[in-house]
Amino acid sequence: MIALLLAGVAAMTPIEAERAFAIDAQVHGQWTAFRKWAAPDALMFVPEPTKAQDFLKGRTDPPVSVMWWPAESYSSCDGGFAINTGPWVRGGGRSVGYFTTVWRRQGKDWRWIYDAGDALKESRGLADQPKVRTASCKGRPRGANVLGTIGLRGYHSGGGRSKDGTLVWSWTVTPKGGRHFLAQLWNGAAFDTVVEDKVAAE
């Protein structure tokens, strides 16, 4: 009977997963939440790409956790991957910025595989409801843009795509620590750029 009830429980949406992640950071601690929600192969940028679980292992939670909210969410047609982005605040609003998280669905659970962002001088606006968009299931996706720095000395590059190819993302870190992230979503005939983050070198 319990198994039947559990089978009927709907999977979280990417927005719900992001919100649960953010709530865990407030309730249980920032790095504790990051460890819990990260996939084994998740990446963080400090500023070089680093395996998140290695970076987070044993890390003490800060006294006050950063707060964040998903403002936009983009999902592949097959529902296997999603990208969320939105604002964050720290210290009661004394520091503000934005985040971008790539999520991978594992059964009915979501785990993040890419987390990055940057500080801003002014906070981004936040609508009453997040903007949610799912890739078209029509046509055969091909030709998405990929940041082309793989193999260049001193650069780090990577990325991925959903199994159906309708959501594609790529990232590059320059030798001085600058970062570029690009995500594209299939509209049935071509790819639309839906997220582009550019972080200057420190």
Tens digit of each residue's pLDDT, the chain (202 residues): 344 333 444 679 999 999 999 999 999 999 999 999 999 999 999 888 999 999 999 999 999 999 999 999 999 999 999 999 999 998 877 899 999 999 999 988 999 999 999 999 887 776 778 999 999 999 988 777 666 545 556 678 899 999 999 999 999 998 888 999 999 999 999 999 999 999 988 7
In the chain, the amino acid numbered 180 is H
3 assigned to some structural domain: no
Give 101's strand partners: 84, 115
- Domain of 140, CATH number, reads 3.10.450.50
* pLDDT number for residue 152: 58
* pLDDT number for residue 151: 52
Distance CA 185, CA 49 (A): 24
* pLDDT number for residue 5: 36
- What's the helix, strand, coil split of the chain in %, to 5? 15, 40, 40
The number of distinct structural domains making up the chain is 1
* pLDDT number for residue 47: 81
Compute how many other C-beta atoms are within 10 angstroms of the C-beta atom of residue 25: 22
- Domain ranges, residue 27: 11-199
**pTM passes above 0.85:** yes
* Cβ proximity of 189 and 202 under 8 Å: no
* pLDDT number for residue 177: 86
| CA distances, 131 to each of 100, 124, 145, 168, 200 (Å) | 14, 14, 23, 18, 27
Distance CA 131, CA 79 (A): 16
Distance CA 130, CA 183 (A): 18
Compute how many other C-beta atoms are within 10 angstroms of the C-beta atom of residue 132: 15
1 assigned to some structural domain: no
